[in-house]
Amino acid sequence: MIKLEYYLIVSTLMFFIGIFGFITRKSMIAILISLELVLNAVEINFAAFNRYLFPEQMEGMFFTIFGIAITAAETAVALAIIINAYRLIGDININDATKLKG
């Protein structure tokens, strides 16, 4: 039988791989991809907890669905910002985006 812990181990490792990528990558799009990994890990947790601990209810599943929708909106806006930043500074290196530093 697949235990709840197996899901949690997978999502924990995925979460921290995402955090590692978020800190180390330089390209803005790569950072956004790391962020997707983090969000995806969290959503696995919601669904697994819902199924194993409270299978009669569906709160975890709805949180996952709303989380997916919010992630889609966030990605769209973030990519629009990145494309605009590319037009302003010529590349998508996070260290070059210093216009707001003043």
Partner 1 sequence: MSPIINLLIFGGLAVAMLIMSVMAITSKSLLRSATYLLLILICTAGLYLFLHYHFLAAVQVSVYAGGVVVLFVFAIFLTTPKDQVLLKHEYRRYVYAALITICGVGLVGFTLFKTKFIYAANPSVDGYLELPMQDIGRALMGTEKYQYLLPFEAISLLLLAAIIGGILIARKDKKDDGKDESLL
Three-class SS state of 48: helix
Tokens of 30: 């790569």
Closer residue to partner 1 in complex, CB, 60/102: 60
Residues 41 and 22 sit within 8 Å (Cβ to Cβ) = no
86 binds partner 1 (CB under 8 A): yes
Cβ nearer to partner 1, comparing 73 with 100: 73
Residues 45-74 close enough to bind partner 1 by CB under 8 A: 47-48, 51-59, 61-62, 64-66, 68-74
Answer yes or no: are the C-beta atoms of 11 and 67 closer than 8 Å: no
Q: Which is nearer to partner 1, 9 or 101 (CB)?
A: 9
Query: Smallest gap, in angstroms, from Cβ of residue 64 to partner 1?
Result: 6
Q: 102: which 2 tokens?
A: 């003043």
Could you tell me how many residues of this chain bind partner 1 (CB under 8 A)?
72
Backbone angles phi and psi of 10, in degrees to 5:
-60, -45
The contact mask relative to partner 1 for 9-38 (x = CB under 8 A, - = no) is xx-xxxxxxxxxx-xxxxx-xx-xxx-xx-
Q: Identify whether the C-beta of residue 21 lies closer than 8 Å to the C-beta of residue 11.
A: no
